[in-house]
Amino acid sequence: MDANGLLALSSALVLGIAALGGALAQGNAAAAALEGIARNPEASGKLFVPMIIGLALIESLVIYAFVIAFLLQGKI
Amino acid sequence: MKLFASLLMTLPSLAFAAGGFTWTSGIASALHLPEHVVLFGFVSVLFILVGLLYRLKTADVSAALVPDSKFTFRNLFEFVGEFVYGLTRNIMGDKMAKEYFPLIVMLFMFILMSNVLGLIPGFLPPTDNFNTTLALGLFVFIYYNWHGIRVQGLVGHIKHFMGPAWYLAPLMLIIELISHGVRPISLGLRLKGNMEGDHLVLTIFSDLVPYLVPIPFYVIGLFVCFMQAFVFTLLTIVYISLACEVHDHEHHD
């Protein structure tokens, strides 16, 4: 396998692995928030903002990986 | 007229060279500017016009007290404003919300307009370029640090970086410095990455099946546009309120 093949493989793997981790973490966060809302529906307004902040911070890691994938792709 | 003709002449060739048609590529090449700068200027002009229009509609203060009964431009504008103000007040409290609301609502509306512009065929969102979003992120970074120093004093602002106890200070200082330094970059990258990724998905699916199939992705795109403007604004509010909060240490143990 030559360098270009490795680059292509790694740029795909970067995003795949990052999306896996991000999806697991975001699933946990959303599940916890939904559970909280199901137990106490009146708290949905208060839960919404912290949940979105948490999701955004988790997502930013996946976005970093997305950028790295783009950088790797540019080198092919 | 000659400029207009030359613009029309250059449009198709540029579109093929760039791999996709955009309305502004001719203007961008005529002005020797990158395309996202032209689009950013376009959104700015649009933003100023919308603001002036709203100002004209509410010029008569006594008449403006009563909102319009139907769904109008003014109602839409006030709905967005109230939504952002409610969000700001929830996080910051009444007093601070009044102070920082103008910047926050400006950021929200501006980013929302830039994002939604990308959903119109033949337009790219100016926010899918890292240069634009890093500028916005750096602006927020400078703004909240400046106001932190203004409200708390330089010493008070630096105390924020020191953590809760003095023996943790050397460790906390490094962690906090890194976390603050990364903030503008992560704000910029998040916005840029989301918009670019969203646009890419839309492009790929419209290339695969040009009819009907892209419609759900337009809906998701609209949601992502709103969500990213919302997240950017929310994080700005949180950063400002973290930097400018006045702590009362007597109530803590």
- Residue B37: CB atoms within 10 A of its CB come to 16
pLDDT in tens, B151-176: 888 888 888 788 777 788 888 888 88
pLDDT in tens, B171-193: 888 888 888 888 898 889 889 88
Residue of A nearest to B129 (CA): A67
Give the pLDDT band (50/70/90) at residue B19. Answer: low
For chain A, how many helices (H) and strands (E)?
Answer: 2, 0
Angle between helices B73-92 and B35-57 in degrees, nearest 10: 100
Q: Determine the structural domain holding residue A50 and report its residue range.
A: 3-74
Which ipTM value was assigned to this complex? 0.73
Give the pLDDT band (50/70/90) at residue B136. Answer: very high
Which of A66, A68, A73 is most worth mutating to test chain B (most B CB atoms within 10 A of its CB)?
Answer: A66
The residue whose two tokens read 């803590």 is: B252
Q: For residues A62 and A18, is the Cβ–Cβ distance under 8 A?
A: yes
H or E segment and range at residue B245: none
More confident residue, B127 or A27: A27
Angle between helices B214-244 and B130-159 in degrees, nearest 10: 20
Task: State the amino acid at position B82 in one-letter form.
Answer: E
Among B90, B190, B234, select the one facing A52 at the smallest CB separation: B234
Q: How far apart are CA B136 and CA B16, in angstroms?
A: 31
Domain total for chain A?
1
Structure-token pair, residue A1 = 């396998």
Residue of A nearest to B184 (CA): A60
pLDDT of residue B16: 37
Give chain B positions within 8 Å (CB) of A59.
190, 194
A vs B, Cβ pairs < 8 A, gives: 31
Rounded to two decimals, what is the model's pTM? 0.81
Structure-token pair, residue B58 = 């509410």
Give chain B positions within 8 Å (CB) of A53.
231, 234-235, 238
CB contact under 8 A, B193 and A67: yes
Mean pLDDT of A60-72: 85
pLDDT in tens, A20-40: 999 999 999 999 999 999 999
Confidence check: pLDDT of B21 > 50: yes
- Residue B139: CB atoms within 10 A of its CB come to 15
Q: For residues B26 and B14, is the Cβ–Cβ distance under 8 A?
A: yes
HSE-up of B10 (CA within 13 Å, CB side)? 15
- The pLDDT mean for chain B works out to 81
Structure-token pair, residue B190 = 């998040």
Cα dihedral angle (B247, B250, B252, B253), rounded to 10 degrees?
140
Query: What CATH number did the domain enclosing A57 receive?
Result: 1.20.20.10
